[in-house]
Amino acid sequence: MQSSSTKSLLATERRSVLGLALVYAIRMLGLFLILPVFSLYARELPGTTAFMIGLAIGIYGLTQAIFQIPLGILSDRIGRKPVIIGGLCMLFAGSIVAALSSSIEGIILGRALQGCGAIAAATLALVGDLTRDSVRSRAMAVVGMSIGLSFFIAMIIAPWLDSLIGIKGIFYFTAGLAILAIAFVIYVVPSSQVVSEPVIVQQSLYKVLRNSQLLRLDLGIFCLHLLLTADFVVLPLMLLDYYQLEPARHSWVYAGCLVGSVILMAPFLIYAEKKRKQKNMFAGALLVLILSHIGLAFLPASLLLVILLLLLFLAAFNFLEASLPALVTRHAPAALKGAATGVYSSSQFFGIFCGGLLGGWIYGQYGMRAVFLVGAVLVVIWLVFALGMREPQRLNTHVVDIPEGNLNDIKGFSDKLAALPGVAEVTLVENKAHIEVDPVVFDQQALALLV
């Protein structure tokens, strides 16, 4: 028996986390690629309005939100990998439809199909399945930062890809990325064993939606991605129309801000985890979001000041993006991680949809300033709810080999482990049991007798 409270990832955990982070990053790269260029392209299409531009950018978030919860729960019943692979196939199909379309309506349809591949819940649940509590925050941070990495790469290469292959080419490129991600899931990512009995859908949702801590986090990811999408409805237009910055040079602005934001964010993320000050750092990041959006609303005369405000916004965004998934999996019951991450991911993608829709509508009716001001007000509301958040319970991990006599009844052995005093969660990975325990009440002698 091996007691493990170490923060080091095991070999199987490294393989799992890096593989899933790559899958997530590849998928999100394809979805992010149109953000910095689509507004400039779409406003030249006949009959296109600001509202339709926002709808095209955000529509995939609506279909993601619709399918995220059922697919998250389905992953609790049939396994994570089949759900992930099926979702990537839908991303491929939607990308092809968008690439073949010559109207804004066709692109909206393709983006909606892309969103039907709702794999975020299953992906995050699989990360939770394959990692211990003592390293889960780090694992989720890696996945969260992979979103930041894909966003970073998209901001840099999208203007270049647009000049080289155009919007249609970008959609074909996304289809190719979907195939690459499927290969990673099949050949790189390990499978997890589902050890719990299937949970009735209504019961899963009822338990998850009654958890006030999870609801705070769901509200948070909704607001965060609403903010991001609404901002990028107007930011490319702002840089071109107000500061006469040619689209080909936008990538330099985004690249500098994103590199700087990661450098700024990383020490705060490490401090929050090491000192267990996540709530304080969380509130601080929200204040940065509010101040940066108030600053952007004034449309400063200096481009340098705009870049500084964008840098602060992205630093806070990356901190929150890395923190939220870990908090969700720590607060979620072990047998309901798929359902919890399903609700969480639905909130995230519904935020994207609302951000595109709201950003386009507000811009068309009231101008750019109003988009940033409404964003600041939204974060103030989020901050009020976030103040009630509590630090998640910290658990220690014990790793034990499953006795040979129990390999034919893994479910029964898992139930026995779960019944031990102080055991909060049991995860089975490659004939080993990772047991998350409350060190205050855990009886290690009882564990020794069982194994």
Residue from 328, 352, 48 nearest 215 by CA: 328
Distance in angstroms (rounded) separating the CA atoms of residues 451 and 420:
12
pLDDT, position 102: 83
pLDDT, position 137: 64
pLDDT, position 92: 95
* Residue located via tokens 């296109």: 48
SS3 state of residue 374: helix
pLDDT, position 144: 67
Helix axes 247-274, 212-241, angle to 10 degrees: 150
Give the residue ranges of the chain where pLDDT is below 50: 1-6, 195-200
Pull the structure tokens for residue 240: 């071109």
pLDDT, position 139: 77
pLDDT, position 440: 67
H-run or E-run covering 435: strand 432-437
Strand arrangement, sheet containing 432-437: 2-4, 396-401, 432-437, 423-429
Residue ranges of domains in the chain, CATH in brackets: 2-386 (1.20.1250.20), 396-450 (3.30.70)
For residues 193 and 187, the answer to whether their CB atoms sit within 8 Å is no
**Bridge-partner residues for 423, per DSSP?**
437
Pull the structure tokens for residue 174: 């996304």
Give the type of residue at 450: L
β-pair type (432-437, 423-429): antiparallel
